Every structure is written in structure tokens, then in C-alpha cells.
Amino acid sequence: MTTRLDKRFAALKEEGRAAFVTFITGGDPDFDTSFEVLKGLPAAGADVIELGMPFTDPMADGPAIQASSQRALRNGATMKKTLELVRRFRDGDNETPIVLMGYYNPIYHMGVETFLTRACEAGVDGLIVVDLPPEEDDELCEPAMRAGLNFIRLATPTTDDRRLPAVLANTSGFVYYVSITGITGSASPEARNVADAVARIKRHTPLPVAVGFGIKTPAQAADIARTADGAVVGSAIVDAIAKELDSEGRAKPGAAERVLGFVRSLADGVHKARAAAAE
């Protein structure tokens, strides 16, 4: 089965450029602003969208994404509303892949089958669930594959060559390489180490490899885009959203537009990376 993710990565390969993958938290800071940002991401240069499912206890996330989850939850975000964001997005865009990213408990609580049905109906393409390693594949990964969704796994610097095959076995869509040992938004990766790691993963799989965790500036994004099939930026965008809040925590007028402006600058970095390298 060819999914939106497969098509998008194949098209980018044809064009000879890397994917710019953006992360925002669903419902951050509120449903309407979040939808405005989400809707504008493709035009701002996002090739793939990761949409965070807010959770009270995001164990693998740094302060920026923790805060975004809390903002969203405080303003009434729920799993249903996150799926509603996707459904509305799909009304105007049937091409840009959307990957839901988060933790297992809200999915488990809704019920795996109910969640998968609703996610497919809404137009979700893939899932990244941080606390489901391959050892727990029967929980969600296998049912998700049967439902036609891509299950994207994280590979990390601690995933050695012995472990990689198990991590890649049920992965589809793309592989997400976490470039540092640590939480989101912390230290920035060394481009050289990343290139080696990407090459190592590619020896084990034909899937595209996107790299994330710690990419904050257009220059860093461009660096990564030279060696990987995609560069993921999350905390930096979420921080840009945080800067748009007034003293009462509400989004200022024009917030979405300014956030999308920042996204555009990152996208330019990624999209021009290889052209610049070729010159």
C-alpha cells in the first residue's frame, strides 16, 4: 500500500531535496490558533507534519514541549479534539502527511481499536508513540499496521547494530533518528555524528531517515538536510508559539502568521541545503 508518507518522500527524492518535518502540539495554545498554524504549515514549507497529542506526563520531552502540552490541556485539548484538527485540515489538504506523535496512555484509554478507526477516518497517516518500543508491538504497532497506518519508530544513539533490525522490523513511512541521547529541545546534534548514524541506519533499511531533537535554527536544519532525508523541528516552533502569548496566556492577534513566518525561514534552510551544497 502506498501511503501519503510514501508518496511524499518519493516525490522529494525525485526533486533531490530533504523533507522539512514540523512538529506542533495539537491545541497549543488553543484549538483555533493551533488550527490556523496547522493549516498554514504546508504553505510555509512543511513537507510532513507531526501533530503532538497532548499528555500530562511527557517523559521524553524537554521544557518547551512539556509547556506546550500543558497549555493545550489547560485550554481543553483532548484526543478527540486533536483528531478533529486533523479532520478539518484534511478538508483543505489531501496531500500533506500528518503523523500523530505522543504517548500511549491517552490512546490506550480511548481503546486501541476506537482510536485507530477515528484516526483513519480523520485522515491521519502515521503514528509515533514514544513509550512503545518494539518489545510492545502487539499493543498498537501491529493493529495500526493492519489499519493501514504507518508506525514510525525512533532510533537513537543507544540503538546499536544488534538492536536496529528489531527496531526497524515493523517500521514504515520513515525512520525517525533521534540525534542525541536526551529529551526534546536539549543539546544540538553534531552534523558529522548524524551523517554517520544516518549511513548506519541506511545500511539496514531502504526507508527514508528523518533526523530530529535539538534542531533550532535554519542553519542547523540545513546542515541536517544535507545528509538525512528529512529534518524535524519541534521545540523551536513550539517556543515561537510560546512567545506569542499575552500576559494571560492567550494568543496575541496575528500569532499564527508570525509563527508561520518563522517556519518559513526554517523551511528555506532545509530546501536550499542541497542546492547550496551542489554549487
C-alpha cell at 173: 513511512
Contact pick of 163, 202, 204, 216 for another protein (by CB under 8 A): 163
User: Which is closer to another protein, CB of 42 or CB of 106?
Assistant: 106
User: In terms of CB distance, is 26 or 45 closer to another protein?
Assistant: 26
Q: Which of residues 64-93 bind another protein (CB under 8 A)?
A: 66, 70, 73, 78-80
CB closer to another protein out of 116 and 267? 116
By CB under 8 A, the count of residues binding another protein is 44
Q: Which of 114, 117, 181, 265 binds another protein (CB under 8 A)?
A: 181
**63 lies in the site for another protein, by CB under 8 A:** yes
Q: Residue 112 Cβ, how far from another protein at the closest point, in Å?
A: 11
Contact pick of 84, 104, 202, 226 for another protein (by CB under 8 A): 104
CA–CA dist 269, 263 (Å, integer): 10
**Candidate list 99, 101, 107, 260; residue touching another protein; CB under 8 A:** 107
- Which residues between 183 and 222 bind another protein (CB under 8 A)? 183, 186
Strands lying side by side in the sheet with 230-233? 150-151, 126-129, 98-102, 48-52, 19-25, 230-233, 209-212, 175-178, 154-155
Burial pattern 234-252, b for ≥16 Cβ within 10 A else e, equals bbbbbbbbbebbeeeeebe
Distance CA 22, CA 236 (A): 10
Pattern 118-157, another protein, x by CB under 8 A: ------------xxxx-xx----------------xxxxx
- Angle formed at CA 42 by CA 190 and CA 222, multiple of 5 degrees: 20
Identified binder of another protein from the candidate list 59, 169, 275, 277, rule CB under 8 A: 59
How far apart, in whole angstroms, are the C-alpha atoms of residue 222 and residue 18?
9
- The answer to whether residue 36 forms part of the interface with another protein (CB under 8 A) is no
Binding region for another protein (CB under 8 A)? 54-60, 62-63, 66, 70, 73, 78-80, 103-110, 130-133, 135-136, 153-160, 163, 167, 178, 181-183, 186
